[in-house]
Structure formats: structure tokens, C-alpha cells
């Protein structure tokens, strides 16, 4: 559209509107006319402005930037953007979020933070859809919807509900590592810039020769890790993190993260005391040292929030040759869930929305559908025509899974629900780790107690038992601090 076209108001079909505030009515005080299609056009579009918000991670903010490859890793993967010369840059988009709150709820809530990163690579979009913690609450994907229900609003009161929150967690104690992190002050980060991002899941790096290695990635903030206390977060401006990110980029104080990968061979994975497919466990850095690959910089705010951030559609299934999902069941389920929700939230042609459109285009076999706005790839054949020169990439990088533990087996197995003493070991290490930072253990106990005191007594008892298993002293401190506050039984 030319600049001169933008200078006057029109209807949505381009007809100039002389006075956008006037409406056609019968006389000075009479009813409106149905023929006033300019006003109807305006109202009808307004009536449809809202689209479904994300079912989780609805509240967030984002920005564009670039990833600079500083240390290529051709020994690990064939991924084009990770194997170029040092200094190679890829455009990126990063969206931060909270998880449980609706759009417009507080940026400062005690909640994990989403860290969804897109690389616009020459081989298509590569999305690393991460959180700010190395672990997650579940290792069994069928628990995700019910787990999320308990962290959202009570179906009757429409209020957040401490009883159902702790009832779920104390009944599914594989969540304990994530609970330890969430109720430390790391659960209330000071904005989006001062926290790290972790893949959490194990993925695979692959090469053309069929070789592969397990990998996790982590982005460490150059702004440091800074958190709020529970009481600071409780009174924080709800838009604090959104404003902090936007304003930093506006004043050219560009936030940066150093990117690393941790790897494990199958032999190392066999010796690891946890399954590499268990998302509730982390890979200790002293045993699996992070290897630096690059630097991420955010340097451009969106020019339109709705177009570029609300409509962004990240998915862990958006990978490029050289990077594959592992057999982690939660990751496997996410490969389905994200594109599925995008088709619902944004429509079948969501990949055409400019922020989602891969820079190398997409297949002419994806045709038609509601709201096709890109010319539908014109006269290109919609089948593999012998008359038209569409090339297939014949050589690719795919892993040889024959050495993997799961290879060849198909069984119905409920691994996620079995708990052993091993499930509490890393949580105990975290508790001891907290002891090295002044007030961190004390704050942890306080943060749990002020929340748990709102739950019903029987659920409190179950939760005390969970913390007892982590550490007896921790369990008794939480019992004492929670009980001392009395049972408030609502939030
Ligand atoms: C069974 C497990 C999970 C399921 C089914 C699931 C599903 C979803 C869905 C449906 C969305 C909304 C996406 C959209 O509307 O665009 C979402 C958002 C998100 N999820 Fe998950 N999720 C799971 C676990 C995880 C885990 C383990 C992580 C991190 C390691 C994660 C990180 C995120 C992030 C960062 C977003 C926001 C993406 C954005 O900014 O647009 N999720 N998830």
C-alpha cells in the first residue's frame, strides 16, 4: 500500500469515509440505518478483534534479535546454522511468558517463565521452546491437562485455589525438583532479561553418517540471575517485565544470553542414574559440562504486538535437519500439541502470517484453506509434477536409532507414575545448594508456607510429607511455618 493511500480513512473494502464519527440515522434523534455499512463494517470488525489466547503461557512479551554462532559444532550436528564460520548470524524471535495466568495477569506471578526462541534459518524455522528452569513438573504427557487445570482457576469459584494446587503436587511427587525451584526466589524472577533458558528436554543432534548424540541446551543471561522476594513480587506492577524488556531495547541496552549445549552419548546415558527421557531431572553441569556455541542478542522491539507476538506460533516440532526430538514422551506429545493449538488459535494457514513464515518459503502441496492470503503459490503444481522443476533435498541428516534403549519395542507402559527414593535426590541437592546463598532456604520455607496455609488441612499434611522426603529438617520447618499461619482455606 502506498503512503498516500494511508492518509485517509476507508472502510475495510477501501471506500473513503468522509467522517468516521458520523452515523446515518433518520433525523436528528431517529434510529440508525442498516445501510450505514461503514459503521457496521467498523463495529463488525471490532466484534471479532479477540482471538483465543494461548491455553497456557497466555501472558507474555517478546522481541526480535540475532543469534551469533561463536563456536561452530560440526562434530555434533549437521544443522546449517550451527556449522557455519564463527560470526555467522541468524535472525531470531524470542517470546517470554508466565504459564498459568490469562493475558493481562501479572508478569511477576510465582510461575515458571516461558523462553520460546525462533531461529529464522536458511533451512526453515527452528524453534527451541524452553522454560527458565532445567526441569518440569511431569514426565508423563497425559498428566499435562489435569496438572494445568489445578494451576488455573477453580471451576466453581473461578479463583486460584491453593487446595487443588497442592493436592495435585503432593499426589504427583515427581514434580518435586520443579517445586523446589518454583518456591525458591527463582520462582519470581526480576523481569525477563535476568534469567536463563533451558531446553529441559533431551533432543538429539544428528549427522549425515547416521551418528547422533543426546543434547540439551541452555541460555545464560549476561544480565545475571536476579529475582524478587515473594513480597516484592506480590506488590509488583503487573506489566513490570513487559515494560522492562521493551524499555531496555528502546534505550539500546540490548539483553544478551550466552548459548551452550550439554551432550551425552548413549553409553553415558546408560550410566546416568536417571533416564535421559525423564524431564523431571536435570543434567548436573559438573558431569556434563556446557559447551559454548553462541550469543543471543535482542535488539528490536515488535512494531505491532498483536501481529508479531500474539500471532507467533512456536512449536518444538519446528526443527531443522541435524536436530531431532528424543523419545522423551513429554516432548513427543508436545510435537503434536503446538501445531494443533495453532490451527485452532490462528487457523489452518497460520504459517503464512509474516512472523511465522519461514524465510525460504513453504511447500506448494500446502494449498487452499480458510484465509489464504499469499496467492496460494499461483500456478505451481499441487502434486509432485514431472513437468515442473521442484527439487527435493535428497541428502539429509537422520539418526540411526538402532543403539537406543527404546529401539524396536512397543508396549503400554506407565513409567511416569512410579516413584522411587531416587526421585528426591536432586531435590535434596537443591535444598543444600540453597543453603549456600544467604536467606535462600529461609525464603523458600516462607514462600511455601504463605501459599500452603491457604490449602485444606488434609492437603497440607500430604504436602508436609512430600517435603519430609526431600529433607526432614525442611519438612518440619514447612510444617511449623504453615501451621503457625493458621488455615486460611482460600486465596
Ligand atoms: C505435555 C507437555 C506440554 C504440553 C501438552 C504443552 C502445550 C502447550 C500449548 C498448547 C501451548 C500454547 C501454544 C500456543 O498457543 O502457541 C504451550 C505454550 C508454551 N509451552 Fe508448553 N506444553 C507442555 C510442556 C512444556 C514444557 C516442558 C515446556 C518447556 C520446556 C513448555 C514451554 C512452553 C512455552 C515457552 C510456551 C509459550 C510459547 C509462546 O511463547 O508462544 N511447555 N504449551
pLDDT digits (tens, 9 = 90+) for 383-441: 888 888 777 777 778 888 887 877 777 777 666 678 999 999 999 999 999 999 999 99
pLDDT bin (cut points 50, 70, 90) of residue 22 is confident
Q: Within this chain, do residues 325 and 295 fall inside the same structural domain, yes or no?
A: yes
| Residue 399 within a domain | no
The pLDDT of residue 491 is: 43
Which atom of ligand 1 has the smallest separation from the CA of 114? 35
Give me the pLDDT at residue 449, please.
Answer: 98
**Which residue would you say has higher pLDDT here, 220 or 9?**
220
pLDDT band at 2 (very low <50, low <70, confident <90, very high): very low
Q: Which atom of ligand 1 is nearest to the CA of 200?
A: 30
Q: Give a yes or no: residue 365 inside a domain.
A: no
- pLDDT category at 1 given cuts 50, 70, 90 is very low
> In whole angstroms, how far apart are CA 162 and each of 125, 168, 474?
39, 10, 20
Span from the CA of 217 to the centroid of ligand 1 (angstroms)? 17
122 and 239 in a single domain? The answer is: yes
Residue 113 located in a structural domain: yes
Active site residue 177: no
Kindly state whether residues 286 and 313 are assigned to the same domain: yes
Q: CA torsion 13→16→21→23, rounded to 10°?
A: -70
Average pLDDT, integer, range 176-180: 98
Residue 319 belongs to some domain of the structure: yes
- Shared domain check, 453 and 346: no
CATH of the domain at 166: 1.20.1370.60
CA of 132 to the centre of ligand 1 (A): 13
Distance CA 54, CA 298 (A): 23
Tell me if 131 CB under 6 Å of ligand 1.
yes
Beta strands in 110-239 (DSSP E): 113-121, 124-131, 197-198, 203-206, 212-221
Give residue 6's pLDDT. Answer: 65
Task: Quickly tell me which residue has 540471575 as its cell.
Answer: 225
Q: Are residues 165 and 266 in the same domain?
A: no
Please give the grid coordinates belonging to residue 23: 452515523
Counting ligand 1 atoms within 8 A of each CB, the residue from 117, 127, 337 with the most, and so the one to mutate, is 337
332 lines ligand 1 (CB under 6 A): no
Inside any domain, residue 383: no
CB 84 within 8 A of CB 119: no
Residue numbering of the annotated binding site for heme: 338
In the reported structure, the alpha carbon of residue 36 is separated from the centroid of ligand 1 by a whole-number distance in angstroms of 44
Specify the CATH number for the domain of residue 85: 2.40.180.10
Average pLDDT on 92-97 reads 99
Same domain, 24 and 90: no
Is 437 found in the same domain as 342?
no
Is there a contact between 135 and 279 (Cβ–Cβ < 8 Å)? yes
Work out the pLDDT band at 5, boundaries 50, 70, 90: low
> Tell me, what's the pLDDT at 402?
82
Number of domains making up the chain = 3
**Domain of 434?**
139-171+421-491
User: How far, CA to CA in Å, does 483 sit from each of 85, 165, 168, 260?
Assistant: 60, 18, 20, 43
Tracing cell 512410579 back to the chain, one arrives at: 418
Last residue of a domain, one of 356, 376, 391: 356
Q: Does the annotation mark 57 as catalytic?
A: yes
Residues 72 and 216 reside in one and the same domain: yes
Domain boundary among 335, 356, 377: 356
| Residue 93 belongs to a domain | yes
**288 Cα: distance to centroid of ligand 1 (angstroms):** 26
Q: Decide if 384 is inside a domain.
A: no
CA distances from 193 to 260, 292, 318, 327 (A): 17, 19, 25, 32
* pLDDT at position 4 over 70: no
- pLDDT value at residue 16: 85
End residue of a domain, out of 309, 326, 356: 356
Check if 467 has its Cβ closer than 6 Å to any atom of ligand 1: no
H or E segment and range at residue 64 = strand 60-69
Task: Give the integer Cα–Cα distance in Å for 74 and 80.
Answer: 9
Amino acid at each position: 500500500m502506498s503512503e498516500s493511500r494511508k492518509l485517509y480513512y476507508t472502510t475495510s473494502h477501501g471506500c473513503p469515509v468522509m467522517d468516521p464519527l458520523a452515523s446515518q440515522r433518520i433525523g436528528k434523534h431517529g434510529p440508525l440505518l442498516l445501510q450505514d455499512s461503514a459503521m457496521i463494517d467498523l463495529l463488525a470488525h471490532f466484534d471479532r478483534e479477540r482471538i483465543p489466547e494461548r491455553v497456557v503461557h497466555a501472558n507474555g512479551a517478546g522481541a526480535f534479535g540475532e543469534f551469533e554462532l561463536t563456536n561452530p559444532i560440526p562434530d555434533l550436528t549437521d544443522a546449517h546454522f550451527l556449522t557455519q564460520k564463527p560470526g555467522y548470524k541468524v535472525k531470531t524471535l524470542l517470546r517470554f511468558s508466565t504459564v498459568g495466568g490469562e493475558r493481562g495477569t501479572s508478569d511477576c506471578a510465582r510461575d515458571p517463565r516461558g523462553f520460546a526462541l525462533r531461529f529464522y534459518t536458511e533451512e526453515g524455522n527452528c524453534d527451541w521452546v524452553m522454560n527458565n528452569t532445567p526441569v518440569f513438573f511431569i514426565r508423563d504427557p497425559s498428566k499435562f491437562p489435569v496438572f494445568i487445570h489445578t494451576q488455573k482457576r477453580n471451576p466453581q469459584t473461578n479463583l486460584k485455589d491453593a487446595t487443588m494446587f497442592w493436592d495435585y503436587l503432593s499426589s504427583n511427587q515427581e514434580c518435586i525438583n520443579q517445586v523446589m525451584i518454583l518456591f525458591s526466589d527463582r520462582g519470581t524472577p526480576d523481569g525477563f532479561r535476568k534469567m536463563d533458558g533451558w531446553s529441559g528436554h533431551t533432543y538429539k543432534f544428528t549427522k549425515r553418517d547416521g551418528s547422533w548424540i543426546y543434547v540439551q541446551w541452555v541460555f545464560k543471561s549476561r544480565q545475571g540471575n536476579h529475582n524478587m522476594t515473594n513480597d516484592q513480587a506480590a506488590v509488583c506492577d503487573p506489566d513490570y517485565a513487559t515494560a522492562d524488556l521493551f524499555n531496555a531495547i528502546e534505550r539500546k541496552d540490548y539483553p544478551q544470553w550466552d548459548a551452550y549445549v550439554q551432550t551425552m552419548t548413549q553409553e553415558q546415558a546408560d550410566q546416568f542414574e536417571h533416564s535421559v527421557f525423564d524431564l523431571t531431572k536435570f543434567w548436573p553441569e559438573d558431569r556434563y559440562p556446557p559447551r559454548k556455541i553462541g550469543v543471543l542478542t535482542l535488539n528490536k522491539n515488535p512494531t505491532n504486538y498483536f501481529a508479531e507476538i500474539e500471532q507467533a506460533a512456536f512449536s518444538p516440532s519446528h526443527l531443522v535437519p541435524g536436530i531431532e526430538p528424543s523419545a522423551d514422551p513429554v516432548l513427543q506429545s508436545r510435537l503434536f500439541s503446538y501445531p494443533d493449538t495453532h490451527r485452532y488459535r490462528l487457523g489452518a494457514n497460520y504459517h503464512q502470517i509474516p512472523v511465522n513464515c519461514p524465510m525460504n518459503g513453504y511447500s506448494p502441496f500446502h494449498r487452499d484453506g480458510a484465509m489464504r492470503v499469499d496467492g496460494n503459490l499461483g500456478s505451481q503444481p499441487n502434486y509432485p509434477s514431472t513437468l515442473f522443476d521442484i527439487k527435493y533435498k535428497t541428502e539429509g541428516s537422520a539418526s540411526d536409532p538402532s543403539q537406543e534403549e527404546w529401539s524396536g519395542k512397543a508396549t503400554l507402559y506407565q513409567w511416569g507414575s512410579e516413584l522411587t527414593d531416587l526421585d528426591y535426590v536432586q531435590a535434596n541437592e537443591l535444598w543444600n545448594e540453597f543453603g549456600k546463598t544467604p536467606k535462600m532456604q529461609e525464603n523458600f520455607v516462607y514462600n511455601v508456607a504463605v501459599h500452603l496455609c491457604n490449602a485444606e488441612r488434609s492437603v497440607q499434611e500430604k504436602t508436609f510429607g512430600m517435603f519430609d522426603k526431600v529433607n526432614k529438617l525442611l519438612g518440619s520447618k514447612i510444617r511449623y511455618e504453615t501451621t503457625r499461619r493458621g488455615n486460611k482455606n482460600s486465596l
